[in-house]
Structure 1
C-alpha cells in the first residue's frame, strides 16, 4: 500500500510540475505556435499525470472508472484540438517565426 501511495503522489507531483511549466510557457513563449505547445503540455501531460495519480489514490471503484474515462477523452481531444488550432492558424495566414533572434514576431522587413 505504501508503494501505491508513493507512486500516486509522484504522479500528481509530476503532473503539477508539467502544469506549472506549461503555464509558464503560455505566458513566456514568444509566438502563437510556441504558446500552443505550452498549452498542449499543460492539458496532456499535466492533467493526465494528475488524473492517473488520482486513479491510484481511489483504488478499484466507480470513481476510478470515471477518472480513467476522463483521462481517455483528455488524451484524445487535447492533442487533436491543439493540432486543429495550429492548422487553422497556419491556413489563415499566421506563419511560425523561424528566426530565433527575432522575438517580436515581425519578419525583419520594416518599411
Structure 2
C-alpha cells in the first residue's frame, strides 16, 4: 500500500513538472513564464520528494533538507530573475494590466535640484 501511495504522489509531482514545462512554452512573456515555471516546478519537486519519503522513510531528514532548499531557492531565484528582466526593459505582454515596478525603475527627476 505504501508503494501505491508513493507512486501516486510521485505521479502528481511529475504532472506538475510537466505543466511547468508546458507553461514555459505557452505563456506570452518572460514574466509569466517565470511565474508558471517556478510555482509548478516547486510544487512538483515537493510532491516528488514526499513520494520518495513515502517509499524510503529512512531518508526523511535528507528529503526535508532538500525540500527546504527547494522552497527557499526557487521563489528567490525567480524573483531575482524577474527583477533583472524588468530592470533591463524586457517587454511585457500586451495584455498586462499593471506594472507595479514602473515607478521604481524610472530615472529620478531633477525637480528638487536648485
Which TM-score band applies after superposition, normalised by the shorter structure? 0.7 to 0.9
Aligned-residue offset at 1:22: 0.7
- SS at 2:7 equivalent: helix
Aligned Cα root-mean-square deviation (Å): 1.7
Q: Which one of 2, 24, 31 corresponds to residue 26 of structure 1?
A: 24
Number of residue equivalences: 96
Whole-angstrom CA distance in 2 between matches of 1:98 and 1:88: 20
Where does structure 2 lack aligned partners over 5 or more consecutive residues?
A: 97-114
Find the counterpart in structure 2 of residue 109 from structure 1: none
Q: Which one of 35, 50, 73 corresponds to residue 77 of structure 1?
A: 73
- SS at 2:16 equivalent: helix
Where does structure 1 lack aligned partners over 5 or more consecutive residues?
A: 101-111
Any runs of at least 4 consecutive aligned residues in structure 1 with deviations exceeding 4 A, and if so which? Answer: none
Whole-angstrom CA distance in 2 between matches of 1:77 and 1:43: 12
Whole-angstrom CA distance in 1 between matches of 2:76 and 2:5: 29
Larger radius of gyration between Structure 1 and Structure 2: 2
Whole-angstrom CA distance in 2 between matches of 1:98 and 1:71: 36
